[in-house]
Structure 1
Amino acid sequence: MNTLITRFNGLLISKLHFRVCLMLLAGLTPISTILYYDQVYAVASVSSLVVSYCLVVIFYHCDYFERQCSHLAREVVKDPLTGAYNRRFLMEKLVECLSVFRRTFDVASVISIDIDHFKHINDQYGHDVGDDVLCQLVSTVRARIRHTDRLCRVGGEEFILVLPSTNKFQARVVAESLRERVKKTEFVNGLNVTVSMGVSEVKTGDTVEKLMKRSDMALYEAKRSGRDQVIAS
């Protein structure tokens, strides 16, 4: 992911240089047209105006192209239903967290989140209501986390929250706060929704798979223990 960012930054610098050149050409061409406009240079003057117009159009479309690329770059890592990040982004983020930990020992934690009895919600109220519950859960969690934290959807009703620079004790406090927040929230159709959570932190020798497995095991323990709980491994 860092490599992609570096390449993107390099591309932005190239675009900046290109735009400066376009602006200079677009500005100087009409000036030269005015200065040299006479019968001898009539054809050249008209041609320079056309070139100037084309340069302005190109400049506009460069901006449009950049906006579209930025939009697509954001969409490719987002879950289309909830707007949370997707599994692809999660894998990249966890690799990044592990890399930071190996270099600086700056620990990170993950929280696995699962909506309790979500199948019952779908069966009784329909999948449209289930989708609304998912979206509302994402909004509720996002309203209570830092701008550096990342909420990712990894399955139907399963999410993973990545917390950089956070140990498992701090992450458990966050998880308990989120659990209480979700429990007190009135969801669509007046539903009361609860979540189970499993917490794990990065350890020496970890891989992405090991980290996620510990978090999943803690989550399963929370569900086996009666749900609406937080377990840290």
Structure 2
Amino acid sequence: MYATEYVADNWILILVLLGFTISLISTVFMEQKTIRRLYALIVEVFLLSIVVFAEFKMDGMAEYRNLRIVLMAIRYSATPLLVAQIVYTVAKGQKWYLFVPAGIFTALDFISIPTGIVFALDDANKLVRGPLGMLPYFGAGVYGIYLVYNLWKRHTGQRTDTVPIVFFAFAFSSGLMLPFIIGKEYAQVFCATIAVSMFVYYVFALLQLTKRDPLTGLLNRQAYYADTRNEPENINALVSVDMNGLKAINDNEGHKAGDEALTTLAGCFIEAAKHKYRIYRVGGDEFVIVCRKCKEQDVQALSSHIHENVAKTKYSCSVGYCYSKTGSSSIDEMLTASDENMYAEKMRYYKEKGITR
């Protein structure tokens, strides 16, 4: 009876988690470490939904008082812990001490069983919030804000990147607040919200990975064509960059050395662009930087910064750009002009070095 009722109450959640699991089985883009963490999150959300269902079924049943208060401690503890694990999985570069605040919240929740500092049960087995009753939700909210901040920090400013992050923030915050706005019977909304938010972000992450060059992490040729079709009237400059001497490195030192050279140069370009412009690897050693609504002096400064950064390495590159004052030039025309300027600089480089191509 209870199993049937649980399935009926959580059918959408079960379908989302099942679909998420099937998607993870078939994915080839993500690291195995990330996939394992997502599997763990799926299991944890499912188990938490069972705990929430069982705990609320015991509401008002005095004979289950001791069991219910333990389930409450688990539910209160799981809320910030679950969000912390999402941050650990989704936001890059997180360390183990991210879980320290969640661990403190967990300790307080279990201390609350005898003390009532976070929650307690009255004689009718009804929930009574203690002095720190909102602490688990506050902790989950802080973790959620930190997660959205990390996602926003990495986004490129394009609408296609912004919308999923805004959705994630809205869905996550609604999952935390709806039980307080609508009523405690909607507490299970939190599990469904977490599941849907994770799945949407997973789809978003996959789409991002298909647009990335696996070697350098820069955007790829497919992304270049897609992005330059998006509001092309705002693109008024293109910068073409080509590495000098990659073939010689591959022939003399091996392709591993060539890959290292390309990743080093990609880092130089990223540092020069400072997240203002999108950088694409469109060929073996060919890169294009797309500039929107910029001034010509900004493009000149970008080209200079690229040369300065690359000069600090043992490699070199040639740079050319095309700037359209009126914005009336087509993308293809701008790219042709930008490439011509870049190749002119490359010819000067080879002439100065006495290299015959």
TM-score (norm 2): 0.47
Shift of 1:69: 2.3
Matched residues in 1 for 2:347 and 2:323: separation? 21
Matched residues in 2 for 1:223 and 1:157: separation? 13
Shift of 1:56: 4.8
- Corresponding residue SS for 1:224: helix
Q: 2:332 maps to which residue? A: 209
Matched residues in 1 for 2:222 and 2:286: separation? 15
Distance 1:156 1:213, change over 3 A: same
Q: 1:81 maps to which residue? A: 215
- Corresponding residue SS for 2:238: strand
Q: 1:220 maps to which residue? A: 343
Shift of 1:11: 5.8
Counterpart selection for 1:142 from 270, 275, 280: 270
Q: Which ranges of structure 2 fall in alignment gaps of 5 or more residues? A: 1-156, 353-357
Matched residues in 2 for 1:77 and 1:64: separation? 20
Deviations 1:62-114 (A, max 9, x none): 2321331232232122111101111222234334463236xxxxxx3211000
Structure 2 counterpart of 1:135, one-letter code: T
**Bigger proportion of residues as helix:** 2
Matched residues in 2 for 1:5 and 1:198: separation? 28
Where in structure 2 are the equivalents of 1:43-54 lying within 5 Å? none
- Corresponding residue SS for 2:304: helix
Q: 1:100 maps to which residue? A: 234
Root mean square deviation, CA, Å: 3.4
- Which of structures 1 and 2 has the larger relative contact order (alpha carbons within 8 angstroms, sep 6+)? 1
Q: 1:200 maps to which residue? A: 322
Matched residues in 2 for 1:196 and 1:156: separation? 14
Q: 2:245 maps to which residue? A: 117
Matched residues in 1 for 2:228 and 2:171: separation? 31
Distance 1:76 1:218, change over 3 A: same
Question: Which segment drifts farther, 149-158 or 164-173?
Answer: 164-173
Distance 1:6 1:150, change over 3 A: closer
- Corresponding residue SS for 1:144: helix
Matched residues in 1 for 2:177 and 2:231: separation? 40
Structure 2 counterpart of 1:158, one-letter code: E
Q: 1:188 maps to which residue? A: none
Matched residues in 1 for 2:190 and 2:318: separation? 56
Distance 1:22 1:220, change over 3 A: same
Matched residues in 2 for 1:225 and 1:85: separation? 29
Question: Which segment drifts farther, 124-133 or 170-179?
Answer: 170-179
C-alpha contact 1:26 1:56 (8 A) present in aligned 2: no
Deviations 1:156-181 (A, max 9, x none): 01111122333444423321231132
Counterpart selection for 2:185 from 26, 29, 34: 29
